Amino acid sequence: MSPDTIIDVYCEICEERIATVRLGDLRYPMTGEMFLSPDAHHGYPAPFEPGTEWEFMRCPHCRYRPFLMDDRINAGDRFVYARKDGDEEPAPETMDDVLRQMAPEEEPQDDAQVTCEICGKKFPRGQIGLHRNNHRRAEAKRQKERGRK
């Protein structure tokens, strides 16, 4: 999403639409002037006074704090995180982005061949397990046939 994108903001407690925000204005620490009217066309005022800090923001519907964390807002279908000063990269937009950032870097997979201990054939690392299962099934079948005779 671009910094000029305006998104709806929902209370995390009562899930009512309480404001809109321009993504480029969403910074940490969040203050009241970042949030715009939920319906400016009909003349509704902004939900928070301009100097209000996160700690003192209250939902106009349920009167609880609308954001449970001081650096994220509920955008309906996802959480959007406020960009902190000094962040080189943009704040993650979804929980999937957060998990991706937290995940350890994957090591590059080498295309090494693995040799089967039973028959001596070579297979890529990911396919050797399937090949071994075929050996086990064949052995179980042979033992089952021996038991019948």
Domain span holding position 132: 113-148
**More confident position, 47 or 91:** 47
**More confident position, 112 or 61:** 61
Least confident of 51-65, 66-80, 123-137: 123-137
Confidence (pLDDT) at 93:
61
Confidence (pLDDT) at 63:
94
Q: How far apart are CA 109 and CA 124, in angstroms?
A: 11
Does a structural domain hold residue 108?
Answer: no
CA angle, residues 1, 70, 60, in degrees to nearest 5: 90
Number of domains in the chain: 2
**More confident position, 127 or 55:** 55
Residue 27 DSSP label: B
Confidence (pLDDT) at 83:
87
If asked whether residues 23 and 63 sit together in one domain, one would say yes
